[in-house]
Structure 1
Amino acid sequence: MINGETLEIEIGNIGLRIVTDSIRASRNKTDSVTHSHTSYELHHLLSGSATLEYEGGGTELSEGETLLLAPELFHRFATGSEGALILSLSFYLERRGSGEDLYSLLTPALPEKSSPIRFERSDAIDGCIKGITAGAHSASPFATEAVKASLALLFTELFTRLAGDGAKSDKRRGGEKYGIRGFVIEEYFNRYYVDGASLSELSELLSLSKKQTERAIKAAFGVGFREHLLRLRIKSAEELLSGSDREIREIAEAVGYSSYNGFYEIFKARVGISPEEYRRTHRKQDLSISRGK
């Protein structure tokens, strides 16, 4: 079990610091004492139901729902149903690095001290929570990295919902990036373009319909899901053909094609020459020199 560590996570230029001591699933949260924290708090109801009372109000929490609380908000969990189990964690936010300023897009949407923000249950959030709880109780040497990966996905999902369509970044080459949502789309393609990229899965991650997701991809890259996926695969194949000695069949598999013939036909139709011809005409001059060093 990971414990006592501070996990550092970055989503664009948004930095998160999470102390692992704060990641805990507890039944005694219900009917707790009134308290506040200097950090943001996230509470996810794993089972049962509970009531959060806070300064100036209260809210019911159903199984699978998540609450995000601002720092310094005095609150307590009142008695809920028997067996209510709540996963809680505390985190700090800060601006880091450069690049697209997702931090400025997010901060106006964060909860104010007056009231928490509720997130309805979703498969995407449930999957992240399962990954966090499994990793937090694992003895694996990779447990910390597993928890960090699940936390990054969870906060990307939550921040995407918070920022929504309201925050648009400046126009850049290749289309218009839509804040955190554009970042999620770009990261998804970069991670899964070789194997497993799915419009349905991306739509679920963005909490959008397939049509809305297609429009968001087109706004960001100028083309739809299938076309952008194909362009990424062809570009990667070109780089491997010109910069490596790998066999072409290996390269086909490395960029997501199980069939060499299918890869050959698509590559030739797109690039205008065969993979073999492309390698001969675009081979990097210093490749043999680099191998000899």
Structure 2
Amino acid sequence: MLEYITQGIGRGGFEEGRLPVLLHIECVQLHETRQAEHFHADHAELILIQKGSCQVRVAGGQEAVQAGDFVLCSAGEPHACWTQDGEQATVISCGFTRLLCRGREENCFLEQRERPIVHAGEGSQALEQILLSLMQAAQDAHEQSQEICSYLSAAAILLALRLQRAAEEQIEQARYSLGIRTQLYLDRHYTEPLTLDGIAQAMGVSKYHLDRVFLAGAGCTPVQYITRRRIARAQALLASTDQSIQRIALQCGYSSYTYFTSVFRKHVGRSPGDYRKIIRGIAGTHKT
């Protein structure tokens, strides 16, 4: 027998302990005719993709979703779901009012920066079971069915929010991992001929995704990072060796002396030769 041990309940997921009220719940078959974007001013809507796959547009973005994914549409947020190219999909749509998630505005699931489309996969099986139970309770004429619906609604919403946070954390982990892997790769290969296409291929992602993720984490694009590493290496060699500038350019990944000089001047503010004279003059002054 599996024992469940309670360790005390802290602050609940809803402000003032107020449970949400279920407005509607239904299974909907989607069609290829694109649904017009719409919003609900007075309630929030949870849409679970139960079967098949479809397109979802919400919060200004459009994504393909499949069974197990779900969408959290806060009040006033335009959204639409439809199928295309022979897709078939069944969704469970449920609307909630008097929703006051902790730290959120009324009838809002998420903050604006959080992703409303959740690719939960098998993780949403429990959510589907709760929604199916909720649908059954909503059809029951028993006098306590409304109270049961409120508790089931609260359970569905809390589980959906937990799955959403887990998905967000997974995305952030993947982004962090990609950023670190890319930086390590560039640190090892920055003196070699590199292109964004080649770097993206080595990382196994599209160049557009790589550019966005790396920029968000490092504050510069992969190409800009390569340039910074090359110029920093050139500065070190100019200051510490008597190698020719052309040789230093080759060691730092520049086959063209002219191009190297141009890039160096752009980033440092002077030519490699002037930089060497100035930095060595400063070093000589410190020695005396």
Sort the TM-score into its range (normalised by shorter chain): 0.3 to 0.5
- TM-score (norm. length: structure 2): 0.42
TM-score normalized by the length of structure 1: 0.41
Greater gyration radius: 2
